[in-house]
Amino acid sequence: MSPSREKSSPSTSSGQSDVVLADAAAEQIRSHARLAAPLECCGLLLGQAGAITEARPARNVHLSPQTHFEIDPQALIDAHRAARAGGPQVLGYYHSHPRGPAEPSATDRAMAAHDRAIWAIVGQDGAIGLWSDNKQGFEALFTQASSR
């Protein structure tokens, strides 16, 4: 299955550029979701300037991981420290919906920070949807596959 849903013009109405999702990162997300099922998996999206080159798994520390996710705070701290030291930037987050589609749930919408982070959601069928967490809510991003 290709991680690309669609190619589009250079930006969405929010001004967010197209996002390039490396094939290796998409496979990392899918693999983590398969291993974690029936629980939700979660992790970090790393890269530079709208190019997601790595999906770094993190521990889901939520008390109800069957239906919710919370990224281990230490994983976030470590990733931000590494970025400040010249490593890849934290572009956003990913999680799985083991029994649902690759789109934000009501819980996702309620918990969103509206900080323009990229959210990758892998659905029960392995499809990956990419979303920008904007002030107005989630907006679908157009993705382009990359073999990087």
Q: pLDDT (tens digit, 9 = 90+) per residue, 6-51?
A: 333 233 333 445 899 999 999 999 999 999 999 999 999 999 988 9
Asked if the model's pLDDT at residue 1 lies above 70, the reply is no
Report the distance separating Cα 102 and Cα 53, nearest Å.
20
Within the chain, where are the H helices? Answer: 23-36, 73-84, 106-111
Binning pLDDT at 50, 70 and 90, where does residue 101 land? Answer: very high
Q: Note the pLDDT of residue 9.
A: 28
Binning pLDDT at 50, 70 and 90, where does residue 78 land? Answer: very high
Q: Note the pLDDT of residue 17.
A: 53
Global confidence as pTM: 0.86
Joined together, the tokens standing for residue 90 give 């934290």
Among candidates 72, 76, 138, which has minimal Cα distance to 110? 138
Within 65-105, where are the H helices? Answer: 73-84
62 φ, ψ (degrees, to nearest 5): -65, 145
